[in-house]
Amino acid sequence: MSDQPRTVEVPEELNGARFDSVLAKLFPEFSRSRLKAWVLDGSATLDGAQVAPRKSVRAGQTLSLLAEATEVTEAAPEPMELSFVYEDAHMLVLNKPAGLVVHPGAGNTTGTLVNGLLAYDPALAALPRAGLIHRLDKDTSGLLMIARTLEAHTQLVRALEAREVSREYRAVCAGRLTAGGVVDAPIGRHPTQRTKMSVHHSGRPAVTHYRVLTRFERFTFIACRLETGRTHQIRVHMAHKRHPLVGDPQYSGRLVMPSGASEDLQAMLRGFKRQALHASRLALAHPISGEPMELQSQLPNDLLELLGVISDGEHTAAEFDAMAWPEIPDRS
């Protein structure tokens, strides 16, 4: 345990909520089971007193947590080439390539991003999940936030929970979308295929905003912004709209070659083995200084090659990268 407790005042919107639920909201970097254990052993207190997990709290009361992050993983440091678009003493923003697994797990105990981060900065071992604030699927490329201090970690997790971090993606989906819009549909574990997610009435709320950047005869280049961060959210929502992402191995179904597709297009679609999805932009307040930050990642080469073949050379790589989020949804 740390010698210095971390304190926070109960906000108005959590007035009347259970003590353990409020702790989970205000200290999301820790698991509920760990927080409950700290409540029971007196490491988490309300106005300086030990209380039961079910105790109702009032706005303005003070929560204190005498705790420190524990070693998050036994993953071994492994030097690897990592590309950062931002770095200071408090945080990193990484440009993750497609094909890199983020967290160690069954079948992926080495060669993950966590292994590489621990080699780059061994101090990250003292933070939850090696400082990672969110995640990207193995075959999704783009920007990831990593905290380097516990204070930065706490602030970034809170900002993400409060929807104060704008996360924007670029994707190529099958079919010709006529307009941008919003998908507001809950996502949960697929009822029969447990490695997949699906839109399901008992799932957790999920909201994806999308805009058309440019259309082609059989495909659409889109931008997406997340209100929530469910597993596979963009992939599931676009498949739910019957416009799955090109190359998606889980949600696009069997590859059906468009009629009249050129040999180049057929070869590209057969060879594109990952979802055409890239985390292209982050906008947030710096976790310590509060200064506004906007970070961008250019489209990776494989997506540019896909777009080049789909567009038949209609746009350059620079033009695709420059396509900005339309503030007014396309209604054409």
| Extents of the domains making up the chain | 6-65, 84-160, 166-322
In the predicted model, is pLDDT for residue 106 greater than 80? no
> Which numeric CATH code is attached to 166-322?
3.30.2350.10
Answer whether 86's CB lies under 8 Å from 95's CB: no
Cα–Cα distance, 108 to 225 (Å, whole number) = 29
Nearest to 330 by CA among 185, 216, 222: 222
Average the pLDDT over 173-185 and give the result: 95
Give me the pLDDT at residue 71, please: 39
The residue annotated as part of the active site, out of 41, 47, 121, 137, is: 137
Is 137 labeled as catalytic in the residue annotation?
A: yes
Mean per-residue pLDDT, 232-259: 94
- Per the CB < 8 A criterion, the answer to whether 183 and 222 are in contact is no
- pLDDT surpasses 60 at 171: yes
d(CA 120, CA 98) in angstroms, rounded, equals: 19
Q: Is residue 33 over pLDDT 80?
A: no
Model confidence at 107, in pLDDT bands (50, 70, 90)? low
* 153 vs 287: CA distance, rounded Å: 8
The residue-averaged pLDDT of 148-154 equals 90
Given this chain, do its domains 6-65 and 166-322 carry the same CATH topology?
no
Q: Which two tokens stand for residue 319?
A: 């033009």
Assign domain 84-160 to its CATH superfamily. Pseudouridine synthase (3.30.2350.10)
Helical axes 32-40 vs 19-26, angle rounded to 10°: 130
pLDDT bin (cut points 50, 70, 90) of residue 332 is very low
pLDDT band at 68 (very low <50, low <70, confident <90, very high): low
Burial class (CB in 10 A: 0-12, 13-18, 19+), 325: middle
User: How is 90-138 classified by DSSP, letter by letter?
Assistant: SEEEEEEPTT--SS-BTTBSSSSHHHHHHHH-GGGGGSGGGGB-S---T
Note the pLDDT of residue 29: 66
CA distance 100 to 279: 14
CA 252, chain centre distance (Å): 21
**Is pLDDT larger for residue 199 or for residue 257?**
199
pTM: 0.80
Work out the average pLDDT over 34-55: 86
Mean pLDDT across the chain: 90
Query: Does 328 score more than 70 pLDDT?
Result: no
pLDDT of residue 191: 85
Distances (CA, A) of 93 to 68, 87, 119, 181, 281: 24, 7, 16, 29, 11
Would you state the structure tokens that stand for residue 16, as one six-digit string?
A: 């009347």
What is the structure's pLDDT at 194?
75
Give me the CATH code for the 6-65 domain, please.
Answer: 3.10.290.10
Lowest mean pLDDT among 40-44, 131-135, 212-216, 217-221: 40-44
Q: Which residues pair with 62 in a beta bridge?
A: 9
pLDDT of residue 104: 81
